[in-house]
Amino acid sequence: MKKLLTALILGLFVLTLSACDLLNSPGIQNILSDLTISGVEDIEVAVGAEVDLLEGVTVLGDDEGNYLDDLTLDSTCTITDGILDTSTAGTCTVTYEVVVGDITTFQTITVTITADAITDNDPVITGAGDVLVEEGMTFDPLDSVVAADVEDGDLTSSITYTVTGPNGETTFDDSVDGIWTFVYSVTDADDNTVTVSRAVTIGELLWVSYGYDMALNGDAYTFTYSGVTAQFWNMNAQYPLAEALDASISAVEFTFTGELGQDYIFKAEGPGNAYSSEVSVTATGEEEVVSVPLDTLTAEEITGLEKLVLFATTVDGAGSVTVHSVQFVMAEPAWVAYGWTMTQSGSDYVFEFSGTDANQFWNNNAQFAIDPALDANATSVDVTLTAPEQDFMLKIEITGGANLEVPFTGTGAEQVVSIPLDGFTAEQIPQLSLVVLFATTVDGTGTVTVHGVDVVVPEPTAWNAYGWTMSQSGDDFVFEFSGTDANQFWNNNAQYTIDPALDANATSVDVTLTAPVQDFMLKIEITGGANLEVPFTGTGAEQVVSIPLDGFTAEQIPQLSLIVLFATTVDGTGTITVHSVDVVVAEPTDWVAYGWTMSQSGDDYVFEFSGTDANQFWNNNAQFAIAPALEANATSVEVTLTAPVQDFMLKIEITGGAFLEVPFTGTGAEQVVSLPLDGFTAEQIPQLTLIVLFATTVDGTGTVTVHSVDVVAPEPTTWNAYGWTMSQSGDDFVFEFSGTDANQFWNNNAQYTIDPPINANATSVDVTLTAPVQDFMLKIEITGGAFLEVPFTGTGAEQVVSIPLDGFTAEQIPQLNLVVLFATTVDGTGTVTVHSVDVIMPAWIAYGWTMTQSGDDYVFDFSGTDANQFWNNNAQYPLMPAIDATATSVDVTLTAPVQDFMLKIEITGGAFLEVPFTGTGAEQVVSIPLDGFTAEQIPQLTLIVLFATTVDGTGTVTVHSVDVVLPS
């Protein structure tokens, strides 16, 4: 369903936006932070007048919820069920108060009851605020517009209106885009007439507002906001990206005018906020441009961006922000043409050239700026291109300096032209700034397409030799050495660069090698700093030489950067083969002790403590790092332990933030201490990082054994209740409801999240339930889009309510994400039990043929079979459930005309069998034997396909059954 966005959101539209649109806002969670009471003002009435103090009153939250049911009245008047007692003249006050959680708001009015009749009051029209209507949506000008008069009561049925359309029309047509001006009028019994004007703007809305009021003026969207909280993300404006962005877009530019000195965030966001780019800006009060760069995103992420979002972030900020335009900025092209014509096709650059001059071919060319600079180790630059069979040249150069020209001849097909860099020094390679492409055939004409420019850098080796000869054999590094000098053996060696950095918890580095029976040395070092030398003697066989790291601090270990291997036997000669270098890291522990002694026994952690200090017990403790993060819906963390009969305390905390302390006394036996999480918000729970165990008995001594730490979270449910009470009994979901409101039954419901998505070929969703003999409704929907409502009456017994899907397209069916159950009988009360939700699939699916069902038979009409492509049109039967591994055949019973056909059984993308057959014009059985498949393959068979293979064949095939044959 498309959205109706109004300046004053009333009735059904509030519910539509809060129940549907907010669910369609990945990465943004609307949380109630403010309430507004409307329709309340001082009253003057005559004695005996009938006054309903709740008439016309609304209570809306900034989460777009309706909280009228939470409204209470406190008064010095007498009030019964909202009706004011006007039997006695006088003055009193009425306070309208709403309390939701820790949020409270109220308004107080004065009521004057006069002894004399009050006449000649003007009527009042409400609900006629300006609105925006999404193009293509039906709009009723009288919907939610109400008129009332003190003397006459409800005058809504007397409202009339005139309309002026964008082109001067006087009859409203909601299919015409533009601004329609309505003038509403109502006259009371005293001939008092009032009029109210409203603007209704119809068109394609690029932005959607959540918690802001939105107005459209030409192409500019103005968002009015107030009461911004620290949770500013609850209110925002969103620009859905209806089509995928081009991967070459480098930025999104917003032209906007905001409130002077207030802060805003402009954001480009991927699905579920999985990735994004955002920019914060302080407004100048003038029209300005803010650019959100996309260069931190991959090409796939750019094309996958789902929406643009605007937030007002200044706490307590109020005002408006106008977005004048949104521009998508393309990245600068990698190539530039001089004298040639250049176009882009995807990532390809296409150059058209003509009339090459023999003496001045260099005047016309295409140039590629090298950015970023080449790696000094690069060996070549490879240009992949398609060029005609003419002569060309590639040139690489340092601007105004060294260069290399590489002539080549086009092949007419895609080819790679390599520009070698071995003629440049390591200092020059990073200075190379330009690649230039020339056409050198005199009077040459044609088109060159450059597909890519790639820099070739050799794979780095783990080891490098200095004064020795190094070769590689698989993963082994082989070093030949000779003539070791007693005084300068360190000049010749092999070096291993440590990358990535060692873990601070590493205990040793083990080098596995084979060396002759001579003396050697391994050295590990921080370049220019701490080091350790480990002499060893080769054994002539494979051996492990361990370099212990316990002499280094935890800060030094990650700084170790080099291992060096020396041969130290004077005049030694031979070969060393290094097989591997392995870092040994101590197994991490869940708990760490500070001032206590810790040991492990299986999965248990045992802590010995003594001499607890009354004033500083917190100095000595055991700490448990929470990893991974807790789920936001976790309800408690339970620590199972055995502790002596002394006092202890468990503390759970966000490092440097919120925490909870739970004192407890040990029992001397195994016990569970629970840390409740209901005092933390859903945002805080995943931020909890640490559990700390303290011994708090003064001078206490003993041993605590922690057996486990367990996180308790509620089991996820497929259904959720809103305004109803839900419980589970086995696989059943039981919902209790009461007091259904005729006008707002949709406020209370049960919702079923569809996951995984429905198959595009599904025919219906069947809900099995037991409901009382009252009226109900099931609704299936794409959040914020297409939907279907199915009213039904409960039978008091188990029944199946089917939601047909034939009104949705194949593209829409997998997007259906919610089933909603409503009770629609006014003041209805009772219990609904949902037993199951089942997706119904047809046994067969037709592609290019027409399929109908007759009882259990599937009837396929086919025509015009193409000899070369008969496989394009067929009927397919998914094999569900999997076939038993012992099955011997699959038998298809069918009636087909006397033409040629084929049955195929297959593992998708794998083994298959084709069985040609000729129809008999009567019922026949075609058997697909399975003896050519293995016992492992048979259960993997996923599909049977029926083809018509007679050229230009036409007719009807009826499939009666598909039977799996098992051995007797």
Kindly report the CATH number that applies to the domain delimited by 591-711.
2.60.120.430
| Integer Cα distance of 943 and 883 in angstroms | 11
- Token representation of residue 901: 């056909």
Dump strand ranges (E) for 283-420: 288-293, 307-312, 319-330, 335-338, 341-345, 348-353, 365-369, 380-386, 391-397, 403-409, 414-420
- Provide CATH code, domain 35-114: 2.60.40.10
pLDDT at 360: 79
Neighbours of 561 (CB within 10 A): 16
Q: CA-to-CA distance for 425 and 548, rounded, in angstroms?
A: 40
Nearest to 690 by CA among 634, 650, 640, 745: 650
Tokens of 400: 């105004």
- Return the H-helix or E-strand segment holding 661: strand 659-665
Q: How far apart are CA 611 and CA 617, in angstroms?
A: 9
At 15, which helix (H) or strand (E)?
Answer: helix 11-19
Distance (Å, whole) CA 944 – CA 876: 6
pLDDT of 159: 94
Quick one: residue 192, left, alpha or beta (phi over 0 = left, psi -120 to 50 = alpha)?
beta
Q: Residue 367 class from Cβ within 10 Å (0-12 exposed, 13-18 middle, 19+ buried)? A: middle
Is 557 strand, coil or helix?
helix
Q: In angstroms, rounded to a whole number, what is the distance separating the alpha carbons of residues 433 and 558?
A: 37
Structure tokens at 620: 């000595």
Exposed e or buried b per residue across 584-620, where buried means at least 16 C-beta atoms within 10 angstroms of its C-beta: eeeeeebbebeebeeeeeeeebbbebeebeeeebeeb
pLDDT at 9: 29
- Look at residues 907, 911, 895 and name the one whose alpha carbon lies nearest to residue 944: 907
d(CA 727, CA 748): 16
Taking CA atoms, 283 is separated from 221, 235, 261, in Å, by 16, 18, 6
Closest residue by Cα to residue 902 from 863, 950, 963: 950
- Residue 369 sits at φ, ψ, to 5 deg, of -80, 125
CA angle 325, 328, 334 (to 5 degrees): 150
Among 937, 916, 934, 941, smallest CA distance to 926 is for 916
Contact (Cβ atoms closer than 8 angstroms) between residue 845 and residue 852 = no
Q: Which amino acid is at 157?
A: S
Asked if 40 and 49 touch (Cβ cutoff 8 Å), the reply is no
- The pLDDT assigned to 257 comes to 96
Which segments of 145-234 are extended strands (E)? 146-149, 153-154, 160-164, 178-187, 193-203, 208-210, 213-217, 220-225
pLDDT at residue 716 in the model = 57
The 10s digit of each residue's pLDDT in 541-556 is 999 999 999 899 878 9
Domain 335-456 bears CATH identifier 2.60.120.430: yes
Q: Report the C-alpha gap between 454 and 446 in whole angstroms.
A: 24
Fold for 124-203, please state it: Immunoglobulin-like (2.60.40)
In 204-302 the beta strands, taken as DSSP E runs, fall at 208-210, 213-217, 220-225, 236-240, 249-257, 263-269, 276-282, 288-293
Angle (CA) 119 123 125, round 5°: 165
The pair of three-digit structure tokens given for residue 245, joined into one six-digit string: 């962005």
| Torsion angles phi and psi, residue 747, rounded to 5 | -65, -30
Kindly list the domain boundaries of the chain, sorted by start residue: 35-114, 124-203, 208-330, 335-456, 463-585, 591-711, 719-840, 845-965
- The CA-CA-CA angle for residues 86, 91, 93, to 5°, reads 95
Identify the CATH number of the domain defined by range 208-330.
Answer: 2.60.120.430
The domain 463-585 having CATH identifier 3.40.50.2300: the answer here is no
CA distance 176 to 133: 11
Q: How many CB atoms lie within 10 A of CB 482?
A: 14
CA distance 952 to 899: 10
Task: Flag residues of the chain having pLDDT under 70.
Answer: 1-31, 115-119, 331, 459-461, 486, 586-589, 614, 714-717, 742-743, 867
Classified by CATH at the fold level, domain 719-840 comes out as Jelly Rolls (2.60.120)
What is the DSSP annotation of 721-746? EESSEEEEETTEEEEEE----SS-GG
DSSP 8-class letter at 13: H
Place of tokens 């700093």: 529
644 phi, psi to nearest 5 deg: -70, 165
Give pairs for 656-659: CB < 8 Å, separation 24+: 657/684, 657/687, 658/684
Residues contacting residue 911 through CB under 8 Å, at least 6 positions apart: 933, 937
Query: For residue 292, how far is the Cα from the chain centroid?
Result: 20
φ and ψ of 155, to 5 deg: -115, 15
Are the C-beta atoms of 351 and 413 separated by less than 8 Å? no
Does the fold of domain 208-330 match that of domain 124-203? no
Query: Do 375 and 430 meet the contact criterion of CB atoms below 8 Å apart?
Result: yes
Q: Copy the structure tokens of residue 514.
A: 């084979």
Tell me 346's DSSP state: T
Residues with Cβ within 8 Å of residue 480, at least 6 apart in sequence = 468, 469, 574, 575
- HSE at residue 137, side-chain half, CA atoms within 13 A, is 23
Beta bridge partners of 329: 251
The two counts, helices (H) then strands (E), for the chain are 2, 76
- Side-chain half-sphere CA neighbours of 759 within 13 A: 12
Residue 454, SS3?
strand
Determine the Cα–Cα distance for residues 173 and 167; give it in Å rounded to an integer: 11
**Which pLDDT score is estimated for 905?**
94
Quickly tell me which residue has 């129940």 as its tokens: 19
7 token code pair? 């300046």
Amino acid, single-letter form, for residue 853:
Q
Return the CATH number of the domain spanning residue range 845-965.
Answer: 2.60.120.260
Q: Which of 335, 348, 331, 346 is nearest to 394 (CA)?
A: 335
